[in-house]
Structure formats: structure tokens, C-alpha cells
Amino acid sequence: RKKTPPKRGEPIEGKPMIPLSLGDPTAFGNLQAPEVLSETMVSLVRGAKHNGYGNSAGAEDARAAVAKRFSTPHCIYKASDIIVASGCSGALEIAINGIVDEGDNLLVPKPGFPLYQVLAESQGASVKEYDLLPSQGWQADLAQLESLVDARTKALIVNNPSNPCGSVFPKEHLLGFIDIAARHKLPIIADEIYGEMAFEGVAFHPLAELAPHVPVITVGGLAKQFLVPGWRVGWLMLHDPVHALDDLREGFNRLT
């Protein structure tokens, strides 16, 4: 008897599903957080200086530390450009909720992190998927991406390094994203949670460093590099050389 092939998204008989949505580096117990990080956290808790309410966008010294750590020669952050969030997912939630209204859409990679779609749809918005091409090292089909832009497109999401593909985009490819965003006056949401985890010999380029005329909202956090996803420490960094996000800044802070 001829079997009917499974529908898209259904498991193939005899083969387990491989979840590509959640990357927990602690799942198998063989990787531990740096001892200095754990000891510092213990010291802060015992010091009892941070048990009260603080700024909902993050403590000033924490925001200043993130700004200092991720500033580059062509993208210098101030503490006021940083919002500390409940993990990188929380930073994405602030960014997407602050940008879209009902009926709007975001451009997102395919394959890609499912949360982008979940967050957009929670606001009555939608996503349009641009293709990542396996034959080209999972780089984006930039022509197809640009064809998706319409009057209700509010932002372009670029995930680099890619989850789940693992690709790290070269500088020239990132400039292609920036050119499209500039032509259509779109802000870019750069999901760079894996940004400093590229293998030796592969260069990672922070997208904001390459965008002197395009606003870039970069999200990141401690979860992957420092092996503490359960601590839920993430951040949103605003690079806005053309002051296109002035009105959104207040909105982002109100969402913290």
C-alpha cells in the first residue's frame, strides 16, 4: 500500500522531530557558567544593595557597561541607548511591540526563530518570510527580500549569526541588507544573541557598525555566550544616526 507523504510540519514515521526553536547551551550539563560570573552574582545578592525597585529599563551602571562593551569606532552607544530586558526574547518583545501596529508586517528570515512571528501576531501584525539559501551558505535572497516590502512593512529583522542555520554573514552581504533598508526607509532589528560565538577564522560584523545612515535596533544578552539562559538578562541597543527612532525611544522605555 502506498503511503501518503506527511504534510509539512508533521513528523516522518520512524524519525524523531528535531526542535530548532530553543537553544539551551546548558541542556546536557557539560557546559557551566564562568566561575567569576557566578561568584560575582553571589556577592551582589549577599550585598543586598539591589533588593529594591530600580529603573525598569535597567540600572544605570548596567546600561553604561553594555554601552561601553558594544561600542565600536563607528557606533558609539550611551547608557541612554540601552534597555535591559528579560532576556533577548524580552528585548525582541519590546522592539517588535514598539514598532508594529495592527495590519503592519515585518520581514523575517526563513528558516528562522519562530518568536518573531509570535510577537508580531500578538499585536495583530504579520510576517513576510525572506529565503535563506542553503546553496549559498544560508545567505539571504536579497532580491526576493526586497520584493516583499510594501506600504505596511515596518522593519527588517536580520539574525546574524543565524538561528537555526549557523551561518555568519560576510560584511558585503550585511551591506546588502543595509542598502535595502535605506532605500525603503526601514529600521533594522539585528538579533545578534550569537554575535561573539563565531568559530575561529570567521569574522562577525555588528550590523550597527556598518550602518551610518540606517537606524539599527540590536538585541543580545548573556544567555548563550555566558551559559546562563535561565538568568533572563538581555538588552536592546539603539543606534539611530538619522534620529528616525526619536519617538520610539519613549515607547520602548514605557514597555519595560
Radius of gyration of the chain (CA): 19
Task: Indicate the pLDDT class of residue 192, thresholds 50, 70 and 90.
Answer: very high
Mean pLDDT of all residues in 214-230: 96
Query: Do residues 156 and 177 touch, judged by C-beta distance below 8 A?
Result: yes
pLDDT at 119 over 90: yes
pLDDT at site 231? 95
Mean pLDDT of all residues in 17-30: 80
Task: Indicate the pLDDT class of residue 17, thresholds 50, 70 and 90.
Answer: confident
Q: What is the 3-state secondary structure (H, E, C) of 30-59?
A: CCCCCHHHHHHHHHHHHHCCCCCCCCCCCC
Task: Indicate the pLDDT class of residue 141, thresholds 50, 70 and 90.
Answer: very high
Q: For all residues of the chain together, what is the average pLDDT?
A: 94
Distance CA 53, CA 47 (A): 15
Q: Is residue 155 packed enough to be buried (19+ CB in 10 Å), middle (13-18) or exposed (0-12)?
A: buried
pLDDT at 6 over 60: no
SS3 (DSSP) at 65 = helix
Which amino acid appears at position 190 of this protein? A
Q: What is the pLDDT of residues 60-106, one digit of tens each?
A: 999 999 999 999 999 999 999 999 999 999 999 999 999 999 999 99
Q: Answer with the residue of higher pLDDT: 13 or 228.
A: 228
Q: Output phi, psi for 111, to 5 deg.
A: -65, 155
Percent residues over pLDDT 90 in the chain: 88
The Cα-based distances of 175 to 114, 179, 194, 247 in angstroms read 25, 6, 19, 26
pLDDT at site 4? 58
The Cα-based distances of 158 to 41, 143, 173 in angstroms read 32, 15, 11
Query: Do residues 216 and 70 touch, judged by C-beta distance below 8 A?
Result: no
Strands 233-239 and 216-221: antiparallel
pLDDT at site 28? 86
Strands 233-239 and 82-86: antiparallel
The closest alpha carbon to 107, from 186, 218, 212, 210, belongs to 186
Percent residues over pLDDT 70 in the chain: 95
pTM score of the predicted model: 0.91
Distance CA 239, CA 67 (A): 11
Task: Indicate the pLDDT class of residue 21, thresholds 50, 70 and 90.
Answer: low
pLDDT at site 63? 98
Q: What is the pLDDT of residues 158-174, one digit of tens each?
A: 999 999 999 999 999 99
Residues 6+ positions from 48 with CB-CB distance below 8 Å: none
SS3 (DSSP) at 236 = strand
pLDDT at 19 over 90: no
- Dig out the grid coordinates for 77 from the structure: 552607544
